Chain A
C-alpha cells in the first residue's frame, strides 16, 4: 500500500539498503547507505530488519506526505524536521498521521539523513537489492533514478505501536568540522616515498564540494607518486586513491569496480561512516591505524547491528 508521497525530493533523495552484492563481476557498484551508523539506528528504532530499505537524504530540503498512518524514524544529519510545522526531533521514531506533512530543512550538521518506515519501504529489488546506483541506472523505484516529486513509496502493514524510541544520546552522531580518519595502509603503501607519506599524514585536507557517492574528493598537500601507472585492480570500499594531481580521493559506495591509480590503503570502515557525513569544507587528517584493531571494532559494529 502507498504510505508516503514525495512532495519535494530536495537536493538528492535515494532509496538505499546495505547495497547490492555479487555484481562487481559485471562491473556494477554496490551502492547502499553511505553512513551505516545512522542507517543501522534508523531501522533499529523501528525494530526493522537490518537491511530494510530507507530513504537517504543528502543535504535535505525535502518533504513527504503520509497517505495513511505510518510509523517513521529519522537519524543522521540534523535537518530541523517538522511535522505540520511542529519540530520533530532527530534520532527518534514518530507517527505521521494520514495527510500530515513531514518537512526537512537544509542539513545544519552532517550531510546525510536516513528516513525509515516501520517494516521498510516495499520496493521491488533489482539484482537482490533496492539500493539506487544512479551511475549504473539501477535500483530505486525505477532505473536508478533519484526520488522525484509525486513518487509514492509503498509501505508494509503498519502496527503503529504507540511507544516511541530514541537513540541513546551517547550513540547519536556528532558531526564535527574536523575529522581524524583511521587509515589502514595497504595496496601500494610501501611504494610511496617517505616524503609523500609525511605530506599525507602531516597535512590537513578539506572535503571538496564535488564529492559524491562515488568518492570524497580532498584538497590539500600533494601526495607524489614516483612510479609508472599500475595494472588496473579491484578497488575496496574506502580506498584512498592518489590520481596524478596528488589530491586524494576516498572511494565510496558508488565507486567504479576497477582502477589503475595508486592507493595508499583504506580508510577504516567506522571512519567511513563519519566521512559520509562530512560536508564540503570539513577538515580531514589521516592517522595510521592497526588492521587487527580496526577489524575487531568493525566486527563489533556488524554484530551490534546484525549486518
Chain B
C-alpha cells in the first residue's frame, strides 16, 4: 500500500492510502489514526479517517508539517511491518434490528425491486459482517460496508424529511443506522432500538472506524422490550 502525504492548509494535511474503496482499508486507516494520536497526543488536535484517506489537523506551534510527515511515514511503516499493537484484534459490535414495514417503510419496495422475498432481504442484510468505513454526516452516523450486491439499492429520489432515531438504511452498497432523528434519503428496512449517540457518555457512540458490525433480527416484542418505538407518522 503506497501512501501520499499532502498539505491542505496551515493547520491540516491529508494522507491518501488508496484510490479505491475497500473495507479492509478502513481498518488500516483507523489503525494509523490511533497510532498517530498515541504518538503525538498534544501536537495532533484532530483526525478524520474516511474510506481512502486520513485528514490530520495539527497545532503548528507544537509540530511542523515536515515533522508530521515523518511521524506519518514512521507509524505507517511500523503498522505495515505488523509491529504496532493497533493492528491486533478486531471487535465485533452486534446490533439488534426489528426488520418490518412498520419501522422500515422501504422494505417491501426494496424486496420487490431486487426480486427477493422480504425474508431473503432480511437474511442477506443480517448475515453480512460490515466494517465501519467512516463516521460523519451526523454525530455517530457510521457508514458500513459492504452491502451484498443483491440488496444494494439507490438513495430515494426525494429524501424523507424526518426519519426516527434507529432507522436502518441502505444506500448503494452501504448501510447505516441513523443515530438521531434526522432527514435522510437512504432506503429504510428496519429499526435498531439501542441508543447510538449520547453526548453525555464517553465515548458518545459505540462505533469506531475499522470496527466490525453485525445485525441480529429481533421480534417486535424484543424490539419494544429493548426500548424500541414504532413510528406512526412517516414524513
Contacts and interface: CB of A to CB of B under 8 A. Distances in A.
Given A25-B208, A26-B205, A236 B50 contact: no
B33 interface: yes
B60 to A, nearest CB: 5
A231 B12 contact: no
B13 to A, nearest CB: 9
Contact of A232 (B57, B59, B134): B134
A247 interface: no
Interface in B1-22: 6-12, 14, 21
A231 B48 contact: no
A253 interface: no
Given A25-B33, A26-B139, A236 B21 contact: no
B63 to A, nearest CB: 11
Contacts of A256: 136-137
A24 B140 contact: no
Q: How large is the interface on A (under 10, 10 to 19, 20 to 34, 35 or more residues)?
A: 35 or more
Contacts of B57: 21, 236-237
Contacts of A215: none
Contacts of A257: 48, 135-136
A23 to B, nearest CB: 8
Interface string B21-65: 100000000000100000000000111111111110101110001
Contacts of A180: none
B219 interface: no
B114 interface: no
A26 B61 contact: no
Contact of A22 (B46, B199, B200): B46
A26 B203 contact: yes
Interface stretch (A148-156, A169-177, A293-301): A293-301
Contacts of B140: 26-27
Contacts of B51: 231-233
B135 A27 contact: yes
Nearest to B9: A266
Nearest to B46: A24
B138 interface: yes
B61 A299 contact: yes
Interface of A: 21-28, 30, 126-127, 136-138, 184, 186-187, 231-239, 256-258, 265-266, 268-269, 291, 294-295, 298-299, 302-303
9 contacts: A126-B199, A126-B200, A186-B7, A233-B52, A236-B8, A257-B136, A258-B134, A298-B11, A302-B60
Q: Please provide the 8 A-B residue pairs with the shortest distance between their CB atoms, ordered closest to farther.
A: A234-B55, A234-B48, A258-B136, A266-B9, A236-B12, A298-B10, A295-B10, A27-B135
Given A234-B53, A258-B48, A268-B10, 15 more contacts: A24-B46, A25-B33, A26-B197, A26-B203, A26-B205, A30-B46, A137-B199, A184-B9, A231-B50, A231-B52, A233-B55, A237-B9, A291-B10, A299-B10, A302-B59
